[in-house]
Amino acid sequence: NGLTVITGETGAGKSIILKSLGIALGGKPDKIDVRSGQDKAVVEAELIVDGQEKIFRRLIYKSGRARSFIDDEPIIEMDFRNSVLSLADFHGQHEQQYLMNVSTHIDFLDSFCNSEDLVKKIGDTFSELSKTIQDLNQAIELQTDAANRRELLQFQIKEIQSINPQTDEDIILGKEFKRLNHVEELVSTVQNLNQSLTEHDHSIYQQLASALNELNRLSKYDDSLKPYIESIDQASISIQDASAGMIQYVESFELDQDHLQKVEERLYAIESLKRKYGGSIASVQSFIQEAENEMNQLKGLDSKIADLELEKELLI
């Protein structure tokens, strides 16, 4: 029942049919399998697998290299051979038989006993057990170094918390330090500019006032000069406003060396943290959050190991 016999004269192609089927189902191709004058050969087999029709295709190149496809999807050679391993068994006088492969005996036994569901259940349990053992080993390894790691994390968290840098504080302090560190230059330069604008006898404001007087006198003879009078008058008002603002600016300065020192020390402390923990305040804040999370994990390490040990025993 189910026996098919292929007969024919010598050279009719019996061996070619069997070899082609063998290549289509994972057999090793050879460059001599490609017809002379052609770049490649195509071998294709259609089989019913688990109630579904599947197409197995191999492309053999004249170099001897092969590419494999299942339902027109490319697949690497090793995976292809594993996929077709149990579909057919080709053997001859000098070929190894699939049934003689000891590693496949358990598959035949499971199939004979209709144990597919049990095999799947055992496989799932084994995967879960492997994952549990892996997690347990990692937890035990972490526990070995937990004391030193906890001490380091405590130091790092305490160091960051003692400074407690705020978002963009380094930018704000940098500007403040630059301003305080150049107070004398700022005050001196602004005072000199203010004198040039309004306070000297020949200040810009005085020169504009003289120009206004002359233009007012000349406008009696020519009304077309009045727009220039208005422009210069506006310029004079703007200069007075600027001068008043600069006077207030100078008066607002109070050179406080203690405050400058505090700003410099605070800025140095923040920059030191940035160098240690990522280069920015955002990275420092992210680091302390991760460190605190790791500390919480280390605190619960004993409980985690106990739970994993129990889970392992239940799976075994």
Per-block average pLDDT, block size 10, for the chain (316 residues)?
85 86 86 87 89 90 88 89 81 60 78 83 89 86 76 90 91 86 81 84 86 87 86 89 85 75 90 91 92 82 80 84
Burial zone of 27 (CB within 10 Å; 0-12 exposed, 13-18 middle, 19+ buried): buried
Distance CA 296, CA 191 (A): 59
Which two tokens mark 77? 């050679």
Which element (helix H / strand E) includes 222? none
Which candidate, 250, 256, 251, 246, places its Cα nearest to that of 177?
256
Instruction: Determine the Cα–Cα distance for residues 273 and 264; give it in Å rounded to an integer.
Output: 14
294, 153 in Cβ contact below 8 A? yes
Contact 200, 206 (CB under 8 A): yes
Identify the structural domains of the chain with CATH numbers, from first to last: 14-112 (3.40.50.300), 158-310 (no CATH)
- For residues 143 and 305, is the Cβ–Cβ distance under 8 A? yes
- Whole-angstrom CA distances from 237 to 3, 107, 205, 215 are 114, 100, 9, 17
Structure tokens at 48: 């019913």
Length of the chain: 316
97 with 91: CB under 8 angstroms?
yes
Q: Which of 73, 81, 96 lies closest to 29, judged by CA?
A: 81
pLDDT of residue 180: 80
pLDDT at res. 95: 54
Dist CA 240 CA 234 (whole Å): 10
Q: What is the chain's alpha carbon radius of gyration, rounded to the nearest angstrom?
A: 45
For the chain, what percentages of helix, strand and coil (3-state, to nearest 5) are there? 65, 10, 25
The pLDDT, as a whole number, for residue 63 is 84
pTM score of the predicted model: 0.41
